[in-house]
A and B are shown apart, each in its own frame.
Chain A
Amino acid sequence: MNFLRGVMGGQSAGPQHTEAETIQKLCDRVASSTLLDDRRNAVRALKSLSKKYRLEVGIQAMEHLIHVLQTDRSDSEIIGYALDTLYNIISNDEEEEVDDVEEENSTRQSEDLGSQFTEIFIKQQENVTLLLSLLEEFDFHVRWPGVKLLTSLLKQLGPQVQQIILVSPMGVSRLMDLLADSREVIRNDGVLLLQALTRSNGAIQKIVAFENAFERLLDIISEEGNSDGGIVVEDCLILLQNLLKNNNSNQNFFKEGSYIQRMKPWFEVGDENSGWSAQKVTNLHLMLQLVRVLVSPTNPPGATSSCQKAMFQCGLLQQLCTILMATGVPADILTETINTVSEVIRGYQVNQDYFASVNAPSNPPRPAIVVLLMSMVNERQPFVLRCAVLYCFQCFLYKNQKGQGEIVSTLLPSTIDATGNSVSAGQLLCGGLFSTDSLSNWCAAVALAHALQENATQKEQLLRVQLATSIGNPPVSLLQQCTNILSQGDKIDRRGSKIQTRVGLLMLLCTWLSNCPIAVTHFLHNSANVPFLTGQIAENLGEEEQLVQGLCALLLGISIYFNDNSLESYKKEKLKQLIEKRIGKENFIEKLGFISKHELYSRASQKPQPNFPSPEYMIFDHEFTKLVKELEGVITKAIYKSSEEDKKEEEVKKTLEQHDNIVTHYKNMIREQDLQLEELKQQVSTLKCQNEQLQTAVTQQVSQIQQHKDQYNLLKIQLGKDNQHQGSYSEGAQMNGVQPEEIGRLREEIEELKNNQELLQSKLTEKDSVIENLKSSQTSGTNEQSSAIVSARDSEQVAELKQELATLKSQLNSQSVEITKLQTEKQELLQKTEVFAKSVEVQGETETVIATKTTDVEGRLSALLQETKELKNEIKALSEERTAIKEQLDSSNSTIAILQTEKDKLELEITDSKKEQDDLLVLLADQDQKILSLKNKLKDLGHPVEEEDELESGDQEDEDDESEDPGKDLDHI
């Protein structure tokens, strides 16, 4: 304070001496008086003096006033006066109005004063915090001056005050509460305070947004009647712009909060011509700018496109297009609307397609694009509007191949409307291109260039365009007509005035010819073109012609750089020789450099929007500056390069191609071998599989054979036992242990029965012989007259004998019956034995009952023998099968061996080819090195070098990796 008093004291001395004393007295009263009323009166007196004696009051009273703010918080009146006084000494607003007539110097001084007092005030950070806490006071007399004071502090020393508010807890949040104040004055001044608070401070902008600022501001705007609202709407819009401009996080929040949808009603401007007040125009202007902030080409691409999408989905774009086509819209609003629509559609296909479909409400309806282009090539339209239309057209075509195609197609012979009823975009562009208005020429040329931007197809299509110049003359191609006008324009005495025409046409031609060798050939085909260009460049013309010379040099450079040597007379080499002879390389390069050195060049390269303060500034197009940047270096290199180097380069290219071919050849070979390998692998695996199957079959069969063998052995042992019993067979099947005993028993029985029978038979024969004897003796006795008694006795004897015989006979019968029974039983047993013999495992208990003869057993044995034979046969068959399988196995083994050798061969081949490849790689590396050095040389010499080669080598490495893997796999097999 003392320091300031020392510096500024001089000024306050003199006539104001008494005032200074008064102020001093008042300050003393404020400082020392114990009565509140007294202090309050003193502060009020200071307030009344503060406007007139700003400096004095400021110097002497500030300290005391701050003290009042600290200590007298309970009395809102004195606080209010103190805040008012502080506001008066710090703010410059009132001064400016008062000092309107005074010299600028004094205004400057008062501004310094404000900032100096601000500096003093904020030196103590607590002062700002104190002020913030006072703003929580609801009393109008405190809050309102508090808001105004803080606003002017922010206006004076924004960044510093912002920093203090930022670090004071809840500082920003408290200020946000002002927007909710029911008293409009405070709310409105709150908006102004927030404007100053958020100016270029991203952190504060984000906090304000977080505190629901968007919601509140949009509410205020709609409450106030959108664009029809007063200055409050304007203030809110400016605040919104502060919050959103260059703040991606807030833009994202705005979009995510669905606030874009709430912008749509802003543009529902009635067609009823309710009048366009200045305020409404201002409001709409700001609203349109706010839309543009969200879709600015400088935003991150993703952010812009998501906003563009939202704007289409909620109908905002459609709403803007209705304004575009409405009548009675003031020109500046219309211009800004066009600019806004441009940025809403720029590079976003859906919106671009929609825009192409918009029709003007005329009869018959015309596409909006056509209507807009009509204004662009109309001399009577305002310059800014024409620029806006051009921007709109550029944005429509930006990254829109479909749109580019549609525009160019309106020029092509097949699609031109023969009736000529409706004007097409292409016709308008051609009309503009060849009209007498140089601005139309420029705009049409640039517009057409944008239809060709990065679109090789359309560059070629446009070559087909033929123009009918006048009746009787043959049609001329568009390219031809452009060059004609260019050369005529030079001859006619309109030099300078037509600079836009020539610049426009040259930019169009440069865009057309770049990256399009066919167009270059077409251009060179006209033998007048090259002499014209060299003439232009070589001539020593004034400064105003330097730009045209530069553009001519660029065009000539493009014709060299994109020349495919298809015209014998205008090969690269010849053109370069021409430059050297007629112009001189150095001169040529210098002229080429004129373009980027032009003062308007950097201006145009900054933003896509063609924004020219006046028609004289309309020289460069943004996209064209990009092209120049891209081509200037490479053309310079191409020109400086000697023919030898050119040849070398060609050779290098050729060898490169050759090497590429070789490499691709080997790549193919490797690929084929890979395929072969794969096939062979598959074969091997299938064979393996088959082999395994066969082996399992073999093992199965072996085990079966083993089983049979076991069975056979078992039978053999049984048979051996049987043989021991029988002793009659050297070989036989083995029977189980139970049977032989039984058989033995049965045999014994049979033996017994036989003996019995023999006994009975012998008895019978004995009896028979006795009977015979008796008979013979009887007959002889009768004959020799034997006595009747003897004969009676004899007959009795005979009867007895006969009876005996009968009983014997019956006995015999019964015995024979028994025998037959036994025989049938034996038969049964035999059968059973047979069954038993067939099914070896099942042993018949059935046999226990049977007593049979030896034949029976023999039969069984024979049956067993037969079975054994059968088994032998089976074994034989199985062994045959086995040998067959062995053979098969052998054959498959051999195929495997063959495959193995084949694989080995292939491996060898692979290693060979790898070696070859390695060699090639080494060769390639060498070549690469060479190429690199050559490239470097080329680069040094100004020849552009494609970077594809590097990609190639990358592929090569990939190939290596792949070819190694199958090799490894094979090793495992």
Chain B
Amino acid sequence: MAYAYLFKYIIIGDTGVGKSCLLLQFTDKRFQPVHDLTIGVEFGARMITIDGKQIKLQIWDTAGQESFRSITRSYYRGAAGALLVYDITRRDTFNHLTTWLEDARQHSNSNMVIMLIGNKRTQSAFPWTGIICIYSHKLTSLSAIFENVDLESRREVKKEEGEAFAREHGLIFMETSAKTASNVEEAFINTAKEIYEKIQEGVFDINNEANGIKIGPQHAATNATHAGNQGGQQAGGGCC
């Protein structure tokens, strides 16, 4: 249970792009094809390891619906990382990214790390695939093929476009699939790595919890010496 750092994340983006699925896949390693609309926010947590250090991620999955926007805004300020999600099969969710980003930049602390995620939400167009999966395992592979074939044909946002948007706005970018779990781990972990690097560079004020970062209980005591060591390490890193 002991951790070196605790990072707070939020997941934002239009409704129905698969935010809750991403969280569920990351925390529970499972996929739920039919998911209720998120009301307000939901909480999830998981431990990861970066650079040999245990890092606890606390993740708040927000509702994408417009009516909850004012509530979800309250979560920007205290988060160290944000996953901004759109659906690669729905152009409009990509078009709304600018609004989301403005909102996030306006309400969050300036150092918040934002990861742009193009998520594949294949199940919405195939509500029956889930049912088939349940009734006959023989057909799963078939439907998987269907989907893979289908996905590229239904793709509305090219990977290059996502990359370009991320470059333009200084975000990290990744395409994921909450269903197949592809890149989901990476999305959360890479964001954490970015935050971790920022801490090492001294960009974050780690003693202010309002930034969404907390030092682990046993690390807090040794933090002073730890910080000193870090300076030395960085100097060494410079030589190499």
Contacts and interface: CB of A to CB of B under 8 A. Distances in A.
Chain B associates with chain A: yes
Interface of A: 166-173, 202-203, 206-207, 210-212, 215, 249-250, 252-253, 256-258, 261
Given A167-B70, A169-B70, A170-B107, A256 B43 contact: yes
A863 B8 CA distance: 101
B40 interface: yes
Interface string B35-63: 00000111111000000000000101000
Given A210-B60, A212-B209, A256-B58, A170 B43 contact: no
Nearest to B79: A210
Nearest to A202: B40
Contacts of B118: none
26 contacts: A166-B74, A167-B70, A167-B71, A168-B70, A169-B73, A170-B77, A172-B74, A173-B74, A203-B71, A206-B43, A207-B74, A210-B8, A210-B75, A211-B78, A212-B209, A212-B210, A249-B41, A249-B42, A250-B43, A252-B43, A252-B45, A253-B43, A253-B45, A253-B58, A257-B58, A258-B1
Q: Among the interface residues B42, B58, B71, which one has the most CB atoms of the partner chain A within 10 A?
A: B71
A249 B43 contact: yes
Contacts of B74: 166, 170-173, 207, 210
Contacts of A250: 43
Given A215-B209, A253-B58, A206 B70 contact: no
A172 B209 CA distance: 16
Given A212-B209, A256-B58, A258-B1, A206 B41 contact: yes
A207 B10 CA distance: 12
Contacts of B45: 252-253, 256-257
Contacts of B60: 210
Nearest to A314: B1
Contacts of A206: 40-41, 43
Nearest to A208: B74
A173 B73 CA distance: 10
Contacts of A257: 45, 58
A203 B40 contact: yes
A261 B2 CA distance: 12
A210 B107 CA distance: 15
A243 to B, nearest CB: 12
B60 to A, nearest CB: 6
Contacts of B43: 206, 249-250, 252-253, 256
- Which 8 residue pairs spanning A and B have beta carbons closest together? A256-B45, A167-B70, A207-B74, A203-B40, A249-B43, A253-B43, A203-B71, A172-B74
Contacts of A173: 74, 77-78
A209 to B, nearest CB: 8
Nearest to B69: A167
A481 B60 CA distance: 60
Nearest to A257: B58
Given A169-B107, A207-B74, 13 more contacts: A166-B70, A169-B70, A170-B74, A202-B40, A203-B40, A206-B40, A249-B42, A249-B43, A250-B43, A252-B44, A253-B58, A257-B45, A257-B58
A167 B8 CA distance: 22
A923 B77 CA distance: 69
A261 B44 CA distance: 19
Contacts of A256: 43, 45, 58
Interface in B67-102: 70-71, 73-75, 77-78
A471 B31 CA distance: 69
Nearest to A310: B1
A261 B1 CA distance: 11
Nearest to B217: A258
Contacts of A168: 70
Contacts of B209: 212, 215
Contacts, number: 56
Nearest to A250: B43
Interface string B197-240: 00000000000011000000000000000000000000000000
A211 B211 CA distance: 10
A414 to B, nearest CB: 45
Contacts of A172: 74
B138 to A, nearest CB: 10
A166 B75 CA distance: 12
Contacts of B75: 207, 210
A359 to B, nearest CB: 30
B134 to A, nearest CB: 14
Nearest to A254: B43
B214 to A, nearest CB: 8
Q: Among the interface residues B42, B74, B75, which one has the most CB atoms of the partner chain A within 10 A?
A: B74
Contacts of B210: 212
Nearest to B3: A258
Interface in B92-122: 107
A310 to B, nearest CB: 9
A207 B210 CA distance: 13
A171 B1 CA distance: 33
A210 B78 contact: yes
Nearest to B47: A256
A173 B8 CA distance: 15
Nearest to B2: A258
A99 B42 CA distance: 46
B94 to A, nearest CB: 26
B236 to A, nearest CB: 34
Nearest to B60: A210
B172 to A, nearest CB: 23
Contacts of A169: 70, 73, 107
Interface string B1-28: 1000000100000000000000000000
A263 to B, nearest CB: 15
A258 B8 CA distance: 15
B180 to A, nearest CB: 26
A300 to B, nearest CB: 13
A124 to B, nearest CB: 18
B48 to A, nearest CB: 14
A952 B43 CA distance: 43
A202 B107 CA distance: 22
Contacts of B42: 249
Nearest to A206: B41
A307 B71 CA distance: 28
Nearest to A258: B1
Nearest to A255: B45
Nearest to A169: B73
A257 B214 CA distance: 11
Contacts of A211: 78
A180 to B, nearest CB: 9
A240 B90 CA distance: 42
A827 B70 CA distance: 119
A592 to B, nearest CB: 41
Contacts of B44: 252
Contacts of A212: 78, 209-210
A244 to B, nearest CB: 13
Contacts of B70: 166-169
Contacts of A202: 40
A210 B74 CA distance: 9
B137 to A, nearest CB: 12
Contacts of A258: 1
A167 B71 CA distance: 6
A47 to B, nearest CB: 34
A166 B107 contact: no
Contacts of A166: 70-71, 74
A130 to B, nearest CB: 18
A212 B40 CA distance: 18
B62 to A, nearest CB: 10
A206 B38 CA distance: 14
A541 B206 CA distance: 77
A207 B58 contact: no
A120 to B, nearest CB: 24
A462 B64 CA distance: 58
Nearest to B46: A256
Contacts of B77: 170, 173
Contacts of B40: 202-203, 206
